[in-house]
Amino acid sequence: MRAPAWLPQPVRRVLRVARRSWRVVALRLENYTAPVRRSWRRSLQVRVVTLTLVASSLLVGTFGWFIAYQSADILLNRAKDEVSASLQRKVRYASQQLTVHPQAYDPELPATIRETVDELYDGDQAGDTGTVVSIRAEQYPEIEPQSVPPVDTDQLISPALIQAVAGNGQVAHQIRTVEIDGRMMKYLVYGSPVSSKFGHVELYYAVPLTTEDDAADQIRTTVLITGLALVILLGVVAGLVTRLVVTPVRAAARTAQRLSAGLLDQRMKVDGEDDLALLAAAFNQMAANLQRQIVRLEEMSRLQRRFTSDVSHELRTPLTTVRMAADLIFSERDEFDPAVARSAELLQAELDRFEGLLTDLLEISRFDAGFAALDSEHTDLVPIVQRVAERLAGLAERVGVELELDLPDSPVIAEVDPRRVERVLRNLVGNAVEHGEAKPVVITMATDDAAVAITVRDHGIGLKSGEERLVFNRFWRADPSRARQTGGTGLGLSISAEDARLHGGWLEAWGAPGEGAQFRLTLPIRAGDRLVAAPLPLIPRDRTAEVT
């Protein structure tokens, strides 16, 4: 995204640098996280264990927080109850001691307050626990506050607590964290008014929450360690359970891969009688059935190929004899009656068709046996197309089809087998003439640096949806009821597709009912190169223009 043009040039420069830096960081993060993302996509065990750890961590964390919070709250409430009960006793004792002074200006009152604070502190057996006892008289400024131990209570006793106790006469408490003797401590501070003959003073009792905090910390630590141990244990259990399920699945996948590679004797190991053992047994049974079926089909295919090859070869000898006799009869047909002469012509035509069928069957048997080989040479394809058009011009003229050539002016040199290429083009153009419906057939050639493409376009009956894949099947016909003008065998397009694949090329078809069809032959310029694109589109340009 470009920076807006109205921004100053330095700002835009900074934005460009920031975008480049972000792209670099994003690329590095992607590289670093690639193994993790790959493991997440490919490993069911990793996903199950990760989801188990996340879910258990959330669950254990929620329960752990609840338990720790409740424990801390219970400890705090217990401390409040204890401090509140102790405060009541201290208030009664302080009230008894201060009752002997009728007025606030009694000179003995400060000493009594100091002795009372000392007695309250010692009577509490506080020792060095950090407890603070303080008596203040906010209504009588002449009475100095007394605290034991003698610490600064201004931070410990907040103005809000003083207002609640001295101003409102309430028993109040608060939790304060202050620094005492260089150490931060949390205190529970209670305050209560103390009644006397001359008025009220305030008694403050501060108890450190160190014990409660330590206990809460221990509870949190215990909950944390227990939770971590539980999460790890759940992860280990999830990993072990998932492994029990994933291992047979992985074994099945490996066995299936070996089966697909042709190792039909591979089987899974069956252990026990549980569901996974039943899965392995069913898989092995399926593999055995597939092996039997594949072996049977391979044997049938082998027998079929052998039968086709043997029949084709065996028919050559009687066909040669019949051909010689037929040629002799055909050459003398002018001396026969018209009916006999016509029979001689039909015999000659059917023998030609029969011989073509045998030739095609032999070629198919060579493809099936894997014996077909290319005799590649650098060839100009333009004369081949012209030669095919010249040889089929007579047939095209008889059925009223005009052949139109759109060929490059310069030679198109490619490393191909000219005999096979000519055979493919002869089949394509012959089929186009046969199904052309007395409309023009256009042959187009184009080339680029990597490939050469030849299209044959007719405007006949066309192909229905899905038939563009069926036309290359053996003995398949778009309309079986149509009479053949060329006496084809039904193997031409199948052989043509094999010839194209032998070159490393493509033979594709397009068609629409009533709009004709187009076949495209694409061959690499250099033998062995891999095709990426064709110089000509498969869908005819005139059809594209109509749709547009």
Same domain, 86 and 205: yes
Q: Looking at the domain assignment, is residue 228 inside a domain?
A: no
CB atoms within 10 A of CB 103: 11
**Count of structural domains within the chain:** 3
| 161 and 143 Cβ atoms separated by less than 8 Å | no
CA 547, CA 320: separation in Å to the nearest integer?
54
- Examine the domain organization and report whether 387 and 520 are in the same domain: yes
Same domain, 116 and 13: no
Residue 315 vs residues 224, 350, 363, 412, 427: alpha-carbon distances, Å = 89, 15, 15, 40, 24
- pLDDT reported for residue 308: 66
Structural domain span for residue 123: 74-216
8 Å CB contact between 112 and 97 = yes
Do residues 177 and 120 share a domain? yes
Phi, psi torsion values for 180, nearest 5 degrees:
-120, 120
In the numeric block, which tokens belong to residue 153? 């209570």
pTM for the full model?
Answer: 0.48
Which pair of structure tokens corresponds to residue 371? 């014996």
| 421 and 508 together in one domain | yes
The C-alpha atoms of residue 175 and residue 192 are separated, in whole angstroms, by: 15
Q: Which amino acid is at 27?
A: L
> Which pLDDT score, from 0 to 100, does residue 6 have?
65
**What span, in angstroms and rounded, lies between the C-alpha atoms of 390 and 405?**
11
Is 165 among the domain residues? yes
pLDDT at site 528: 84
In terms of Cα–Cα distance, which of 82, 142, 91, 141 is closest to 117? 91
Residues 189 and 88 in one domain: yes
CA–CA distance, 246 with 33 (Å, rounded to integer) = 24
- Specify if 125 maps to a domain: yes
Token reading at 350:
């059917």
* Domain CATH code at residue 134: 3.30.450.20
Residues of the chain with pLDDT under 50: 126-128, 482-487, 545-548
| Residue 260 within any structural domain of the chain | no
* Interval 40-61: pLDDT, tens: 777 777 888 888 888 888 888 8
Q: What is the chain's alpha carbon radius of gyration, rounded to the nearest angstrom?
A: 51
Measure the CA–CA gap between 71 and 20, rounded to whole angstroms: 52
- In SS3 terms, 239-261 reads as HHHHHHHHHHHHHHHHHHHHHHC
Same domain, 11 and 134: no
Residue 408 and residue 543 share a domain = yes
Residue 92 lies in a domain: yes
Write down the pLDDT at residue 389: 92
Q: Is residue 59 part of a domain?
A: no
For the purposes of burial, counting CB atoms within 10 Å of the CB of 15, is it exposed (0-12), middle (13-18) or buried (19 or more)? middle
Say if residue 33 is in the same domain as residue 91: no
Q: Is residue 276 part of a domain?
A: no
End-of-domain residue from the set 158, 183, 216? 216
Shared-domain flag, residues 38 and 102: no
Which CATH number belongs to the domain containing residue 542 in this structure? Answer: 3.30.565.10
SS3 assignment, position 195: strand
Q: Which of 216, 239, 269 is where one domain is finished?
A: 216
pLDDT of residue 374: 80
Whether residue 376 contacts residue 527, with contact meaning beta carbons closer than 8 Å, is answered with: yes
Do 36 and 129 have their domain in common? no
| Single residue among 216, 233, 257 that ends a domain in this structure | 216
Give one DSSP letter per residue of 268-317, joined into a string: ----SSSHHHHHHHHHHHHHHHHHHHHHHHHHHHHHHHHHHHHHHHHHHH
